[in-house]
Structure 1
Amino acid sequence: MVVSLATVLLGTGATATALPTEAADPAAHRAGTAEPRVSGPVAGSVPGDPKADDVDGTYPWLSAPGLAGAGYVEEEFYLSGRADAYSPEGEKVADDVPYTTRIVVRRPGNPARFNGTVLTEWQNVSAGYDLDALWAPDQITRAGYAWVGVSAQRVGVDQLRGWSPARYGHLDVTGQGRFTADEMSYDVYAQAAAALRAGTGKVLGPLRARTLLGIGASQSAGRMTVYYDRVLPRTEPVFDGYGFVVGSAPTRKGGEPVFHVLSETDVRTPLRRDDDNGYRRWEVSGAAHSGRYGQAYREPLLTRDLGAAPTFSCARPPYSEVPLHHVIAAAYTHLERWVEHGVLPPAAPPLEFAPDGTKARDALGLARGGIRLSQVGVPTALNTGDNTGETFCVLFGTHVPFTGEQLNRMYPTHAGYAARVAAADARAVREGHLLPADAIVNLRDAVSSDVGRD
């Protein structure tokens, strides 16, 4: 299952085709999206948390640490209702199939800190369990977003049921086994958004959403692509805009803006959909589909919840340390402005390809073109989006530090190195591809490093 999912996930990344006509028959019935019943917040907290509430000693899967210090709270809710089922071609195959799933909400505890936007993530299940692949706590809490993870797919829900029968044993998104290929996932996801939009069951506590963004990474982006291209034309929209990350993106020209962010790993052809008034595509040089940042964040949580985090034997040292999440944070900011004020996001240069069809690289082996953060523009290591080896190694990219001799030759003085980092990221900020706060983080890392001190 894991290997085949990785293959599917890679196969949906970056190839572009000609824009099709509208996916649905114009005469097709456009149904409204039902609001599910909501119960919760569900009691229970991670071991060591002083909260007294409990559900047989359980807590939310991959519960996020450190939220209180950021002024955030995490709550979990059950959603129940009747969802329509759709084929991958967007054909409705059943009406009103009962389901029960869960959502995880991480939001500012103080309404004054809420920026009005809810990032609604379709949880990724490529590893066999729900993964909040786009949860980046520093950037999300700094900006004041609410983040909501939706368990829409059978694989994730089945793992939850086995992991904690007391907490999740009653969940089902298959219609009691009738629909095991995630035919219900599209409407389940949309119904979760409808509950957020309406404030059903106080899922956002005292907060009221102004802007609702649907986001998904990798395999989840592929599912969202089917939803946008094939299912959405048959129903009423519930999201204001969409972020498709390290995966496919819609080809249909719809009414809601689409932001498409790809790592170097995901760009495998020079054929691309052109930017237009409803679509924007960014490609990040040196970044990996699943780089160091996400791996480091999830390792202790997977160790806590599974007993051990997975390990991999890759052909080259993983993981790229180019902070793709910094670019994603900038994309969210632009997507908000696009939705709320009609301001088109800035464009970005594409990655370059050599005449033989491979990615063009400089003398250091770094990809040419694309968005170039300081980790690529002022490199201290070879970061790429490529790797090989077992299972998911193809997604991790590489990170090979330069030798001391190389660094001394490239950066004779520490002050000169830090100044170059500052200049590279200042350019990225001016171009709209990086937020100032993340540029400051990069500069602090450069100043505290030993580069140029020998």
Structure 2
Amino acid sequence: MINKIKQLSITDTNYPFATAEKYCELSQKGYEETEYFMYGTANVYRSIDKNEKVEVATEDAPYINRFVVRGPKNPEACSGNVVIEIINPTSFMEIDRMWILGHKEFIRNGDIYIGITSKPNTIKKMLEFNEERYESLSWKNPTPEIPFSFEIEEALKRKNILPDIDLTYETGLFWDMLTDLAWLIRSDEEKNPLLKYPRKHLYLTGWSQSACYLFRYVNSFAYRPEVSKGSAVFDGYLTGGGVRNLIIPVNQYELLKEYDYKLSRIEKVSEPFIAVQTESENGRFESWRTMRQDSDSPDFKYRLYEVTGASHDTMYSYVNYYQNDPDLKRINHLPKYIGKHEEGNDYPSQIFFAAAFRNLFHWVRTGVAPNHCKRIKVDADGENCKDAFGNALGGLRSCLLNYPTGRYNSTSNIEVGMSFVDLDSDKDGLFGYQEAFSSGMLKELYGDIENYRKLITLDTEEQISKGFICKEDAEELIEIAIGLARKRGLK
């Protein structure tokens, strides 16, 4: 239950963590950013068995959490779409990756975005950023007298265990926080911060670990009678970069619990669901073992897009967006490319996410499902198969892959000890790199830059017709391709 919503003031010197106003100049685009604290109580749940069923373990634990809202200044400019992102906490910093990937489409469409803090491990960095602003945030464990049934040091040696275990807080408070916020946004209650906006459709999204949160939410919570209240909590879902061998425990005491593998994917969903994966996840992390086929069944409305060329992190989504932010440098948490290669992977996956969100919105509003796309071809070990140029075969492609001027890799060589996934590895499987073809090879393939432009323009028009690229993004994609070709010596 949410008891109170409090709006925080924003000034030139006191503003939200990783504010989008700084990175996206929202106010110049007719948008505004606001930040709120939500005060309430939440149940903590426990699993009944290995499958999706849960029950209440502890009732009405108090909390104080935060969320940010980005929406049109003029309510009449609002589309009626409200997108709630489960903000990614994996790096111990609030990374609103789905905003980063989708905000251009949100802004031109007039959509409202909400980002909710999903895990208390990020509060420490927010306190470093601005202690006075965030000191009241609280996710206190309602049962601190109950010890973990495992040694934390031993648990951290296991695969798929993230190093953020802390008996003083309880991650399992999140499920009710999310549900209660969603129903508040749908309501006409006075404390609803979106009361002035039309709110026709509500969507849930999440990236990477947060995609896994979304899987668990849909599987274990969204259809519980006390949650759904006879209708859908959310009208549609979109996940990005889901790590399919990571199952989110329903509370932190269940960290080492044996769960059914089906909780790492969506088993059934009555509302439209689009999952977007990159080359970093499509075969790795057991994705190829847990893959579901596209479906238009009433109890499984599902599409999977695998974006060929893209890695989990890219220069655009993980480095350039933050613009060398002095605030993040001050707290020693500025995202950077750690690979040994000259150019980190900068495949423009944001263009495909824009189309995926547009397809989801259309699917929900009209009931017309989007097109299917090919899957990336993998071998018997789940590794991506490559074409003659060294790029992955199949998948959701663009002119950058159909008429390549370079090779896109989803893994980088790094110094041992720098990988977040495996400290003993000299490979980073989350952030790849790109290699340029020689100018001579480009001339042999395409002749000159004008012929190349014709080829990639026709290819992009085909992808627009299939709904995989928005018409508004065509010129940007073509200019990215032309810019790379020129840089690599095609004249």
Per the TM superposition, whether the score is higher than 0.5 is: yes
Rate the CA distance shift 1:175–1:151 in 2: closer, same or farther, 3 A. Answer: same
Cα distance in 2, alignment partners of residues 448 and 348 from structure 1: 27
Q: Which residue of 1 aligns with 2:344?
A: 319
Decide whether the 8 Å contact of 2:406 with 2:434 is kept in 1.
Answer: yes
Whether the 8 Å contact between 1:287 and 1:320 is mirrored in structure 2 is yes
Query: CA separation of 1:302/1:93 partners in 2, compared to 1, >3 Å: closer, same or farther?
Result: farther
List gaps (5 residues or longer) in structure 2: 145-166, 245-263, 421-427
Which residue of the partner structure matches residue 168 of structure 1? 134
Listed as ranges, the gaps of 5+ residues in structure 1 are 1-33, 48-57
CA distance change for structure 1 residues 288 and 331 in 2, over 3 Å: closer, same or farther?
same
Give 2:327's aligned residue: 304
Equivalent residue runs for 1:47-446 within 5 Å: 47=13, 58-64=14-20, 65=22, 66-87=25-46, 90-136=54-100, 137-175=103-141, 178=144, 180-198=169-187, 200=189, 201-204=191-194, 206-234=196-224, 235-236=227-228, 237-247=232-242, 248=244, 250-268=265-283, 270-271=288-289, 272-277=291-296, 278-300=301-323, 302-307=325-330, 309-317=334-342, 319-354=344-379, 357-389=382-414, 390-392=418-420, 393-446=428-481
Q: 1:407 to 1:149 in 2, by over 3 A?
A: same
Query: In structure 1, the residue corresponding to 2:16 is in which secondary structure?
Result: coil
In the TM superposition, residue 36 of structure 1 has moved relative to its aligned partner by 4.6
Question: Match for 2:459: what amino acid?
Answer: A
1:409, distance to aligned residue in structure 2 (A): 2.2
CA apart distance, 1:446: 4.2
**Structure 1 length normalisation: TM-score?**
0.84
Question: Structure 1 pair 449/250, CA: closer, same or farther in 2 (3 Å)?
Answer: closer
In 2, the alpha carbon distance for the partners of 1:170 and 1:427 equals 52
1:27 aligned partner = none
Distance 2:436 2:397 in 1: 18
Answer yes or no: is the 8 Å Cα contact 1:293–1:321 preserved in 2.
yes
Q: Is the 8 A contact 1:153 1:182 kept in 2?
A: yes
Partners of 1:72 and 1:121 lie apart in 2 by 18
Letter aligned with residue 276 of structure 1:
S
3-state SS of 1:346 partner: coil
| Distance in 2 between residues matched to 1:281 and 1:377, nearest whole Å | 20
Q: Which has the bigger relative contact order, CA under 8 A and spacing at least 6?
A: 1
Contact 1:285/1:384 (8 A) holds in 2? no
After superposition, the Cα gap between the structure-2 partners of 1:211 and 1:78, relative to the gap in structure 1 and judged at 3 Å, is: same
For residues 133 and 380 of structure 2, what CA distance do their matches in structure 1 show? Answer: 55
CA distance in 2, matches of 1:233, 1:205: 26
Residues 446 and 273 (structure 1), Cα distance of their counterparts in 2 relative to 1, 3 Å cut: closer
CA distance in 1, matches of 2:368, 2:61: 40
C-alpha distance in 2 between matches for 1:410 and 1:95: 66
Instruction: Write the letter of the residue equivalent to 2:6.
Output: S
Q: Identify which range, 228-237 or 299-308, moves more after superposition.
A: 299-308
> Any idea what the Cα deviations from partners look like across 1:309-341, whole Å, max 9, x if unmatched?
244532545532221111111111111122222
Alpha carbon RMSD of aligned pairs, Å? Answer: 2.3
Confirm or deny: 8 A CA contact 1:101 1:157 kept in the other structure: no
Partners of 2:70 and 2:112 within 8 A in 1: yes
After TM superposition, give the deviation of residue 357 of structure 1 in Å: 4.5
Paired residue secondary structure (1:265): coil
Aligned residues: 410
From the superposition, tell whether residues 87 and 324 of structure 1 become closer, same or farther in structure 2 (CA, over 3 Å): farther
Structure 1 residue identity aligned to 2:122: G
In 1: Cα distance, 2:28 partner to 2:454 partner: 32
CA displacement at 1:423 relative to structure 2: 1.4
Distance (Å, rounded) in 2 between the aligned partners of 1:36 and 1:338: 34
* Contact 1:380/1:401 (<8 A) preserved: yes
Percent sequence identity over aligned pairs: 25
Contact in 2 for aligned 1:322/1:376 (Cα 8 Å): no
